[in-house]
Amino acid sequence: MKITVVGYKKEARLSQGVANDEDTELISFLKDRGLDVVPSIWNDKNADWSSFDVAIIKSPWDYHNHLNEFLSWLDQLEKLGVKVLNPVEIIKWNSDKHYLGDLVKKELPVIPAEYLKKGSSFDKRFFDYFNADKLVVKPCVSAGAQNTITVDRNNFNERSKEIDKLLEEQDYMVQPFVEEIKNGEWSFLFFNGKYSHCSLKTPKEGDFRVQHYHGGSISYPTPDPLHIEQAGTYLKSLPQPTLYARVDGVLIDNSFKLMELELIEPYLFLNGDTLLLENYYQALLAFIS
């Protein structure tokens, strides 16, 4: 069985065919376990996708900038009979943040959101709707806090012009700013629905973005078992099992509330840890055996 771990094209690493060191470590570990694994780039025009039995969608970190092409490529894999992990249906659903509304309909705890259609205008009604003095506006298709904007009543006039310009390109979502994000965003990692580990991403002073390239820091505390259980409930709502899932959220009144359910290309915080890599390997075996 031939397996490919799929990343994206990044000039500095193109010669190695991988997107980041986590991919390198994971591929090496899986090879050591006897699997036939090679890296690939999702939009490599020279790739022979029919030669693979399994395609693990690992780090296509530019997919949101080429969504239609990315989704067409996934359809191509399915037509070729390649087993895609995570499943194509799950990835398509998760690629647009309207999925959060689906989870709300299932009565799961999610940071509330309203949606703005492409070509519409942003207005002040959301402050009253959410009973909030500060809002977060982000694209429905995005990653890494791209084009994510905070708006308060004082800078509304300035920010609304910027948002209306962005709305010319795509749909956006509006959420109340959650003050608890200052205490950090928890990421719970599950492989084949089984909890593996977690991380806590904390923004730098004066910022809300938790990503390390925005100055955020990462720690690895021991989570409360209650919060692990709460994070796992979101996966139980999915129509299919997933090889990997990262459940991102904040703690409000000691209860976990979802911000993002990452089922396409999350960094997994494996950190070269043999135990965590083994968790991933065992989950993969369950899907390909």
Ranges of CATH 3.40.50.20 domains, the chain: 2-85
Q: Which CATH architecture fits 2-85?
A: 3-Layer(aba) Sandwich (3.40)
* Sheet strands side by side (includes 2-7): 36-41, 2-7, 54-57, 83-85
Question: pTM of this prediction?
Answer: 0.91
Q: Distance between CA 184 and CA 198 in Å, rounded?
A: 12
Give the pLDDT score at 15.
41
Q: In which residue are the tokens 């976990």 written?
A: 256
Q: Where are the CATH 3.30.1490.20 domain residues in the chain?
A: 114-177
Which H or E run contains 157?
Answer: helix 156-166
| CATH class entry, domain 99-108+180-267 | alpha beta
The 10s digit of each residue's pLDDT in 63-73 is 999 999 999 99
b/e map 248-280, b = 16+ CB within 10 Å: bbbbeeeebbbbbbbbbbbbbbbeeeeebbebb
Rounded to whole angstroms, the Cα distance separating 250 from 187 reads: 9
| Each residue's pLDDT tens digit, 165-205 | 999 999 999 999 998 988 899 999 999 999 999 999 987 66
* Neighbouring residues of 53: CB distance < 8 A, sequence distance ≥ 6: 1, 2, 3, 82, 83, 288
* Number of neighbours of residue 238 by Cβ within 10 angstroms: 19
pLDDT average per 10 residues of sequence, the chain (289 residues): 93 46 95 97 96 97 94 98 98 96 96 96 94 95 83 92 93 94 93 97 67 71 97 97 98 96 96 96 97
- CATH node for 114-177: 3.30.1490.20
Among residues 177, 203, 181, which one has the least CA distance to residue 248? 181
Radius of gyration of the chain from its Cα atoms, rounded to whole angstroms: 19
**66 SS3 class:** coil
Taking residue 230's Cβ as centre, other Cβ atoms within 10 Å add up to: 20
What DSSP designation does 2 have? E
One-letter amino acid for residue 280 of the chain: Y
For residue 143, the model assigns a pLDDT of 76
Secondary structure class of 64 (helix, strand, coil) = helix
- pLDDT at position 182 is 86
Strands (E), the chain: 2-7, 36-41, 54-57, 83-85, 114-116, 134-139, 149-152, 172-176, 185-191, 194-202, 217-219, 244-252, 255-262
